[in-house]
Chain A
Amino acid sequence: MIKPLEVTSLTKVFDTPTGKNTVVKDFSISIPAGQFVSLLGHSGCGKSTVLSIMAGLQEATFGGVCVDGREISGPGLERALVFQSPSLLPWFSAEENVMLAVAQARPKLSRNEQRRQANHYLEMVGIAEYAKQLPAQLSQGTQQRVAIARALSLEPRFLLLDEPFGMLDSITRFELQDLVLDLWEKDRRTVVLVTHDVDEALYVSDRIILMTDGPEAQVGLELPIHLPRPRDRRSVSSNAEYFRLRAQVIDFLEHHSKQFQEKAA
């Protein structure tokens, strides 16, 4: 059976002043519909590059990404991306930022209907009262909520999250992790999360893809996470399975993520 999102032998080579740099080599994963998958690895291992190629912002040098068995050739509205920084347009209010996406996904709607829908998505992420505010008037966490609302308003089949909580303080980060988890429980949309936070990956994912260190990063270990759903922070952090998985992930990151490279050298 064809998986809805497949990455096949993905290789990305950058031309640098000092020669060619192969960031990712022969990276393959396949993601079934509705799964919450995390790409976890050391900073700079190329996980964001993989996500960026999935989103269609960069092109693979070899291999590629298929949606429903068809290779993608650029960005698509069925794949919504949330960036590390909120990346809102500062001259538009929260509502207008979301409206921009609504208008792209459903171009035939009247302006009023677009506004109504934009507010619906802002409400989903819990910030309906900030609709008229400019991004500069909002906290980082709230801005990132707007960015999530903007992504959701496309009603995408795949939600691609590129370290979306990396710039937030830990309390806000917890809140947003719970928000994303709640939203996922409701619609079971396929999510690919890039992160370097072990606990975050364990808390939210069905499966963790551990990447080896770059250059020539590839899949190091795939780890299914069978913690009971719906999850909450307290019960997860007192679960023995959680600690076993956590030890396994940390062991990989500390001892095994470099082995592949040494073998290659």
Chain B
Amino acid sequence: MMKLTLRNFAYSLVGIIALGALWWIASATFARDLPSPGKTWEESKVYVLQPLEKRGEMDQGIGRMAYYSLTRVAKGFLLAILIGTPLGFLLGSSNTFFRMFDPTIQVLRPISPLAWLPLGLVIFRQSEPAALFTIALCSMWPTVINTMSGVRAMPEDYRNVAKVLQLSRWKTLTKVSIPATIPYIFTGYRLSLGLAWLVIVACEMLTGTPGIGGFLWQEYNSLIYSHILMCILTIGVVGFTLDRLMGIVETRLRVV
């Protein structure tokens, strides 16, 4: 991860300016419907400058919208890691279990959130649980796979120490296996959180629930294109921040 210095910040400005220029050129030439950066700001600043304002169910500041989406992601992500971590542990520690369930997991893994969501709606008949179901199912896999490889990568020495000291199963798990696997688990969590954030937008678009993705889709239908751009930027910034935060936790754990 890049260090946050003034010099690095100056470098990263180049990319941001280039993107802005590209956007401006596109809006001025071939993409006439695309609002220019200036127009986008002009039309969206009320959402950005009053981020916690609530004017109607689907007309709220981006702070509120992001908050709704984040709570949904948090719930789905929590569900994903609560199921994914023990599942990864089992897959990593038992060969039989691995042979029984790995093929199924490999088939489930590449299924897109757009495919899960309708199934969720069929099962739960409500958009909220269907969204959580979709987020959990889609974002679980990196946690499962990383936890599994973490358990597999545990040095034989640690296992032998546990055996020689005759540690109970519980002690072996809490004092040896889990600490040895934690760095891997958190790499999994970080990737899972990233996926969960990707999935949320699709979920909200399809269910039309308030949140950053729901708002984006509504503004597209209302032909207010500048708000789409604002939503896209918000999604990017929030996703980036989440990844950074998890990255900090991850590096902390790696030192140990």
Interface of A toward B, CB cutoff 8 Å: 55-57, 74-77, 80-81, 83, 85, 87, 89-92, 100-101, 104, 134, 154
Using Cβ atoms and an 8 Å threshold, which residues of chain A touch B256? 90-91, 134
User: Which residue of the partner chain B has the closest CB to A154?
Assistant: B165
Min CB distance, B140 to chain A, in Å?
Answer: 26
Q: A77-B166, A89-B176 are in contact. List 18 more A-B contacts (CB 8 A).
A: A55-B164, A56-B163, A57-B160, A81-B160, A83-B157, A83-B160, A85-B157, A87-B157, A87-B158, A89-B158, A91-B180, A91-B256, A100-B165, A100-B167, A104-B165, A104-B166, A104-B167, A154-B165
Min CB distance, B58 to chain A, in Å?
Answer: 49
User: Does chain A have a CB within 8 A of B20?
Assistant: no
Q: Is there an interface contact between B166 and A76, defined as CB atoms closer than 8 Å?
A: yes
Q: Is there an interface contact between B179 and A91, defined as CB atoms closer than 8 Å?
A: yes
Q: Is there an interface contact between A101 and B165, defined as CB atoms closer than 8 Å?
A: yes
Using Cβ atoms and an 8 Å threshold, which residues of chain A touch B54? none
Q: A57-B164, A76-B166 are in contact. Are A100 and B175 (CB under 8 A)?
A: yes
CA distance A83 to B161 in the complex (A): 9
Using Cβ atoms and an 8 Å threshold, which residues of chain B touch A80? 164
Kindly identify, within residues 97 to 143 of chain B, every residue whose CB is under 8 Å from any CB belonging to chain A.
none
**Which residue of A55, A75, A89, A104 contacts B179 across the interface (Cβ within 8 Å)?**
A89
Using Cβ atoms and an 8 Å threshold, which residues of chain B touch A57? 160, 163-164
**Which residue of B158, B163, B175 contacts A75 across the interface (Cβ within 8 Å)?**
B163
Using Cβ atoms and an 8 Å threshold, which residues of chain B touch A101? 165
Min CB distance, B185 to chain A, in Å?
Answer: 13
CA distance A27 to B157 in the complex (A): 26
User: Which residue of the partner chain B has the closest CB to A134?
Assistant: B256
Name the interface size band of chain B: 10 to 19
CA distance A56 to B164 in the complex (A): 8
Kindly identify, within residues 202 to 256 of chain B, every residue whose CB is under 8 Å from any CB belonging to chain A.
256
Q: A89-B175, A89-B179, A100-B175 are in contact. Are A75 and B164 (CB under 8 A)?
A: yes
Q: List 11 A-B contacts (CB under 8 A).
A: A75-B164, A75-B166, A81-B160, A85-B157, A87-B158, A87-B160, A104-B165, A104-B166, A104-B167, A134-B256, A154-B165
Min CB distance, B164 to chain A, in Å?
Answer: 5
Q: Is there an interface contact between A81 and B164, defined as CB atoms closer than 8 Å?
A: yes
User: Which residue of the partner chain A has the closest CB to B156?
Assistant: A87
CA distance A100 to B179 in the complex (A): 14
Using Cβ atoms and an 8 Å threshold, which residues of chain B touch A90? 256
Using Cβ atoms and an 8 Å threshold, which residues of chain A touch B161? 83, 87, 89
Min CB distance, A37 to chain B, in Å?
Answer: 19
Question: CB-defined interface of B159-199 with A at 8 Å, one 1/0 digit per residue?
Answer: 01101111100000001100110000000000000000000
User: Which residue of the partner chain B has the closest CB to A97?
Assistant: B161
Min CB distance, A57 to chain B, in Å?
Answer: 6
Using Cβ atoms and an 8 Å threshold, which residues of chain A touch B167? 100, 104
User: Which residue of the partner chain B has the closest CB to A77?
Assistant: B166
Using Cβ atoms and an 8 Å threshold, which residues of chain A touch B166? 75-77, 104
User: Which residue of the partner chain A has the closest CB to B165?
Assistant: A104
Min CB distance, A134 to chain B, in Å?
Answer: 8
Min CB distance, A87 to chain B, in Å?
Answer: 4
Using Cβ atoms and an 8 Å threshold, which residues of chain A touch B160? 57, 81, 83, 87
Using Cβ atoms and an 8 Å threshold, which residues of chain A touch B180? 91
Using Cβ atoms and an 8 Å threshold, which residues of chain A touch B165? 77, 100-101, 104, 154
Using Cβ atoms and an 8 Å threshold, which residues of chain A touch B179? 89, 91
CA distance A83 to B157 in the complex (A): 8
Using Cβ atoms and an 8 Å threshold, which residues of chain A touch B158? 87, 89
CA distance A20 to B17 in the complex (A): 68
Min CB distance, A73 to chain B, in Å?
Answer: 12
Using Cβ atoms and an 8 Å threshold, which residues of chain B touch A55? 164
Query: 5 tightest CB-CB pairs across the interface, nearest first?
Result: A87-B157, A91-B179, A81-B164, A104-B165, A75-B164
Min CB distance, A14 to chain B, in Å?
Answer: 16
Using Cβ atoms and an 8 Å threshold, which residues of chain B touch A85? 157
CA distance A92 to B256 in the complex (A): 9
Using Cβ atoms and an 8 Å threshold, which residues of chain A touch B163? 56-57, 74-75
User: Which residue of the partner chain A has the closest CB to B182?
Assistant: A91
Min CB distance, A165 to chain B, in Å?
Answer: 17
CA distance A56 to B165 in the complex (A): 11
User: Which residue of the partner chain B has the closest CB to A101?
Assistant: B165
Min CB distance, A109 to chain B, in Å?
Answer: 15
CA distance A74 to B163 in the complex (A): 9
User: Which residue of the partner chain B has the closest CB to A81?
Assistant: B164
User: Which residue of the partner chain B has the closest CB to A87?
Assistant: B157
CA distance A74 to B180 in the complex (A): 24
CA distance A3 to B222 in the complex (A): 91
